[in-house]
Structure 1
Amino acid sequence: MDSMRKTIWSALRIPLLLLCTVCCSGQQATANVTKSAVSTSGLPDTRSSAATTAYTIGSGDVLNVQVWKEKELSQVVVVRPDGKISLPLLGDLPVIGKEPTQVEEMVQTRLQSMVVEPHVTVTVAEIHSRMVYITGEVARPGAYPLNTPITVLQLIAQAGGLTEFASKKKIQVIRANNKRDQQLLNYKAMTQSKDGHSDVTLNPGDTVVIP
């Protein structure tokens, strides 16, 4: 009888051990998933803010200031000519020349005495301070936001390209900081240049004229 019991126990021991191992692993995995969900859920997504951290805020820009779970403190504001914005409880804040992440830190620091663990995100909703202009014989003349460095050829492409009437050898760049600093460019030379030296990088306020 004892021999039979030992035989049965030996046969059942391995399956029972495997079953216990699977159950423990499942509980641990569930705990890890639950912990991850708790640690990441509920907080606002700040990826859009991170995308704009390299941008320097200027006068006329529109900022979207969001304070988590504080709807009354969240505002869409325009940067005034004096370089400041106005927010509830905080009043006027200087933001010109700062990056969005710097404004986030400033607002968050000032709210700490008024809001429990404030979480602030600042994004640039509209760009109006850094613009370049193109006029004349292009498909879409006008003002274009300078989100990233741009060249004359890139601006022409954004404007839909040259029209059939464009004078390709007399493209003019007028610098905003010095109206007398004007350059004449040749479209064909720029497009055929292998090193890109014939192309010109534009600065905020510059105007490209296509006669």
Structure 2
Amino acid sequence: MRPKGTHSGTSCEGSAQAGLIEKLQVLPGYSQELGLDLRRAQDRFKWFLASILFAKRISARIAAATFRQFENQGVTTPQAVIAAGWDKLVEILDAGGYVRYDFSTASNLLEAMTKLVRDYGSLEGLYDRAADSHDLEERFQGLKGVGPVAVNIFLRELRAVWPKANPPPSPLATGLARKLGLAGSALMLPGLESALVRVCLDYCKRRKCPECPIRDDCRPS
């Protein structure tokens, strides 16, 4: 016999979890905030470029501003990056405020895009060559300056677009999910991992709890 109140409590908990998930899923991902449609191949490359910028130990605001500079200069394809050359890339990076990593990022971008074009032809070609999600991650990390953080940033927002895009969840997302009482499987829902990372970076780490969109659902640590 079910103890009194058990069903009701479980139902309330499930309803609260569903409400929390709904709040998280309406938060825009970084690619969406940049105005990118990841169903389009050209925007997927733009997001790849942005992901490389976001992966460094630099503010998201500066990374986004620097990506806008690449857009403004029309440097948003592998070929355009190569054609721009090192000096122009440094100029673009500096204009966006990416001065801390300007030289190394310019060098890495040139080498990475040269290898991408030479070995795969395009970003889509790299994806097509990958046997599975692990192989996809390995191939991306074979590009100069593209590490696990950049790969996670890039692929987690492509889960609903590329079947082979299934990176291990970010530790930031898993940590916050545990604090919120979310099941690990919830991280596979569209947009949820990206939303958790954003909440962690934009509110938790900055101690902006009163402004957090899920403050009422958070369990104090």
Q: Give the TM interval when normalised to the shorter protein.
A: under 0.3
More strand as a share of residues: 1
TM-score (norm 1): 0.22
Q: Greater relative contact order: 1 or 2 (C-alpha under 8 angstroms, separation 6 or more)?
A: 2
More helix as a share of residues: 2
TM-score (norm 2): 0.21
Q: Which one has a bigger Cα radius of gyration?
A: 1
